[in-house]
Amino acid sequence: MRKEDKKQLIESLAQQLSEHHNFYLTDVSTLNAEDTSKLRRMCFNRGIVMRVVKNTLLRKAMEQSERDFDELYEALKGNTSLMFAESGSAPAKVIKEFRKKSKYPILKAAYIEEMTYLGDEQLEFLASIKSKDELIADVISLLQSPMNNVLSALKSGGHKLSGILETLSEKSE
């Protein structure tokens, strides 16, 4: 690879690292071409961008970035693939689902909203993280619950009140 191509690739990686708040570093070295294609297809269908990169180029891109990736440098050993996603848990869910048939890919590290997670043992936790939209939906449902209770109480009370008024008006006649 020519020096100009490497420089362009490093700049491209640095731009992707700055644009995405969530990415995973994985090891897919033992997957054959067919399994790698299946994994890429699963990632594509779920809005995850997967790239296989050289560790030295990725490290240089991380060094160019404004963010602090120092903790991730120790994960840059062996074969590395990057998974970029909008949701912090989406790549973990894909990895977990893919592992039902294979023991790979292995999670090396994850960077989610400025937090670093190292090691494959973090996979279960990362898969359980709720996305921003899911958290907003939970908050809205929590806020709506008391309001719904008050409205239903008022509606049921209105029927009782009208029934009482009707009974009273019939007695007075």
CATH of 3-129, one of 3.40.190.10, 3.30.70.1730, 3.50.50.60, 1.10.10.10: 3.30.70.1730
Over range 143-167, report the average pLDDT. 67
Over range 135-149, report the average pLDDT. 78
Phi, psi of 52 (to 5 degrees): -95, 130
Q: How confident is the model at residue 164 (pLDDT cuts 50, 70, 90)?
A: low
Checking if the pLDDT of 173 tops 80, the result is no
Find, among 9, 50, 3, 60, the residue nearest to 28 by Cα.
50
Tell me how far apart the alpha carbons of residues 83 and 105 are, in angstroms, rounded to a whole number.
Answer: 11
pLDDT tens digits for range 53-111: 899 999 999 998 888 888 998 889 888 899 999 888 889 999 999 988 888 899 999 99
**Residue ranges per structural domain of the chain:** 3-129, 130-173
Tell me how far apart the alpha carbons of residues 29 and 167 are, in angstroms, rounded to a whole number.
Answer: 80
pTM, to two decimals: 0.74
pLDDT tens digits for range 9-64: 888 888 888 888 899 999 988 888 899 999 999 999 999 999 998 999 999 999 98
Q: How confident is the model at residue 153 (pLDDT cuts 50, 70, 90)?
A: low
Q: According to the model, what pLDDT value does residue 161 have?
A: 62
Q: According to the model, what pLDDT value does residue 78 have?
A: 87
